[in-house]
Amino acid sequence: MPIHNEDIAAHFEEIADLLEIRGDNPFRVRAYRNGARAVRALPRSAAELLAEGEDLTRYPDIGEALATKIAELVRTGTTQAMEKLRREIPPSLEELLRIPGLGPVRIRTLWHELGITDLDGLEAAARDGRLRDLPGFGPKTEQKVLTAIEEHRKKKRRFLRAVAAEYGEPLAAWLRGGRGVREVVIAGSYRRGRDTVGDLDILTVAPDHSDVMRRFTRYEEVAEVVSQGPTRATVVLRCGLQVDLRRVREESFGSALQYFTGSKAHSIQLRRLAQDQGLKINEYGVFRDERRVAGRTEESVYASVGLPWIPPELREARGEIDAAAQGRLPKLVEPSDIRGELHCHTNATDGRASLEEMARAAQARGLEYLAITDHSQRLTMVGGLGPEALRRQIEAIDRLNERLDGFTLLKGIECDILEDGSLDLPDDVLAELDLVVGAVHGKFDLPRAKQTDRILRAMDHRYFTLLAHPTGRLIQQRPPYDVDLDRVIAHAAQRGCYLELNSQPLRLDLDDLACMKAREAGVLVAIDTDAHSPADLDLRVHGIAQARRGWLEAADVLNARPLAELRPLLARTMG
């Protein structure tokens, strides 16, 4: 069975969690977490690289031990290390990791102090008031645990869109090889660019004699065939992702694609508009009485009610139909609009490549500038830079810029915003930079007013360019910290600084609604990758999808400017 990089990374993350629950050496735990990150940063599938005889140790952060475990996983689907841990630790403890606020350390406390090994036991202990006296807990935590358990049980499992892509795109490519297959498109919330998806809807155009349905149900990663028929089948992949395939006729493809892309609210508005014009729209076409008048393409469906085609990312019933009717649809930002990157890291802190390696990688991707923004000194665990180390990096960037042809490295820092709103480095060194990226990396639990005031004070600093990942969320792992984002956006507009849309799939922060608000306020947004390796520079595709959902055009994006236009925009934030 094929194994994806995400499978390997998830395996290492699980080992790290189990080791931490067991109370193992923190350096060993960190090694597995770094291993997961390293695998996700590989430029291609680890399985493919190994099949070609590639030495994985040539890639950053992959040593002999990790390379051996990757090869073992690819060969056997598991590791001896994992199997040993599963014999020692109750497997039901892993479900507790899905409860927000319960990390491995707290789960270890629950296990050892109260003998809790599953969700039911946790809920019973919380309702009986037995959590509040444990180290690291308390009455408020106890109540949060109960609320989180209730929400967890209501939720259907969702996958990060980037993870769904790792499984869905190879499946779509496999289906395209079917006999007579003319179209294969992943529709649904995936096509609309949602940051998470519950399942995948795939549409195909193929003749009755095609083997596409059989090909689908016999795909090598299918764990369960839920249903199977001549025009529709449902399977569950080994990773747990449900996939529905629908075979449609060519004359209905546009209507079916519009219908199954959604969203439901958008489709309802479109159908009401059609009804007002004496038309009926469904997944089979657009009809006037019994006569089909459109449906072969999506464009024909929208044109039938007097509208231009509406990009999938906008189909959320947020005013897009009125905008289309009035000729006000935005010209959404495209990957080709991006001219540079304003947030990345090198091996001077927690990155995995040198200054020159990052520069060459960015240039190879068609960018014309790259801002180096390693962490500031407060983040000691990643070797954050103090004033002298940062000055040495500034000098190294100046020397490298003398050798780079047609490409420029900008000098920056990802500077911690401290609890009182001050910045983590003195003004005299910040003044030597091209930009300062401010970021909150701790004290996420401050009350709303204090968290908001902290960020606003930082934005008022004379050297402050860009607020990184503005809400601190990690999708499905950590909720946003409590901040008045409307005030932050308004303050950015007043101060003349900028906000980031972080393209890391776990972040995608700003979210789409906040992007819309920033655009309305006239605040430019930087679509950054927060790259820690050359391969991370390719993550921008996820940020672009989020930006498009937020109605952003190239004119709304800071790093869609060429360097000559960017420099004055940065300079006005620096003193």
* pLDDT tens track for 563-573: 999 999 999 99
Contact call for residues 489 and 143 (beta carbons, < 8 A): no
Task: Say if residue 233 is exposed, middle or buried (CB neighbours under 10 Å; 0-12, 13-18, 19+).
Answer: buried
Which part of the chain has CATH 3.30.460.10? Answer: 159-248
**For the chain, percent of residues with pLDDT exceeding 70:** 99
Task: Please state the rounded mean pLDDT for residues 224-250.
Answer: 95
pLDDT at 1: 64
Is 205 a residue whose pLDDT tops 90? yes
Where on the phi/psi map is residue 343: left (φ > 0), alpha (ψ -120 to 50), or beta? beta
pLDDT at 153: 75
| Range from 62-76, 146-160, 394-408 carrying the lowest mean pLDDT | 146-160
Cα separation, 446 vs 467, in Å, equals 18
Is 26 a residue whose pLDDT tops 70? yes
What pLDDT band is residue 248 in, cutting at 50, 70 and 90? very high
| Residue located via tokens 């040198």 | 354
pLDDT at 3: 86
Contact call for residues 439 and 417 (beta carbons, < 8 A): yes
What pLDDT band is residue 98 in, cutting at 50, 70 and 90? confident
Is 272 a residue whose pLDDT tops 80? yes
Is 538 a residue whose pLDDT tops 80? yes
CA of residue 209 relative to chain centroid, distance:
39
Cα separation, 297 vs 313, in Å, equals 17
CATH class (in words) of the domain with range 335-571: alpha beta
What does the chain come to in residues? 575
Beta-bridge partner residues of 233: 228, 245
Task: Please state the rounded mean pLDDT for residues 464-492.
Answer: 95
**Which DSSP category does 479 fall into?**
P
Is 387 a residue whose pLDDT tops 70? yes
The pairing of beta strand 199-205 with beta strand 242-248: parallel
Which part of the chain has CATH 3.20.20.140? Answer: 335-571
Those residues whose C-beta lies under 8 Å from the C-beta of residue 557, and which sit 6 or more positions away, are 333, 337, 338, 524, 525, 526, 527, 547
Task: Please state the rounded mean pLDDT for residues 123-130.
Answer: 90
Is 99 a residue whose pLDDT tops 90? no
Mean pLDDT, all residues of the chain: 94
What pLDDT band is residue 219 in, cutting at 50, 70 and 90? very high
Q: Which one, of 346, 328, 455, 449, lies nearest residue 392 by Cα?
A: 346
One-letter amino acid of 40 = R
Contact call for residues 314 and 320 (beta carbons, < 8 A): yes
Q: What fold is seen in the domain 253-325?
A: Beta Polymerase; domain 3 (3.30.210)
What pLDDT band is residue 93 in, cutting at 50, 70 and 90? confident
Is 509 a residue whose pLDDT tops 90? yes
Strands of 199-205's sheet, edge to edge? 183-186, 199-205, 242-248, 232-237, 222-228
Which part of the chain has CATH 1.10.150.110? Answer: 5-154
Task: Please state the rounded mean pLDDT for residues 294-321.
Answer: 97
CATH 1.10.150.110 fits 5-154, yes or no: yes
* pLDDT tens track for 128-178: 899 888 888 888 888 888 888 888 776 778 899 999 999 999 999 999 999
| Residue located via tokens 């270890």 | 108
| Residue located via tokens 């009125």 | 322
Is 476 a residue whose pLDDT tops 90? no
pLDDT at 545: 97
pLDDT at 382: 83
pLDDT at 60: 79
Which part of the chain has CATH 3.30.210.10? Answer: 253-325
Q: How many other β-carbons are positioned within 10 Å of the β-carbon of residue 55?
A: 11
Question: Where do the H-state alpha helices sit in 386-509?
Answer: 387-403, 427-430, 448-459, 485-495
Task: Please state the rounded mean pLDDT for residues 186-209.
Answer: 96
Q: Which two tokens stand for residue 467?
A: 């607020």
**For the chain, percent of residues with pLDDT exceeding 90:** 77
The CATH number of 159-248 is 3.30.460.10
- 149 vs 332, more confident: 332
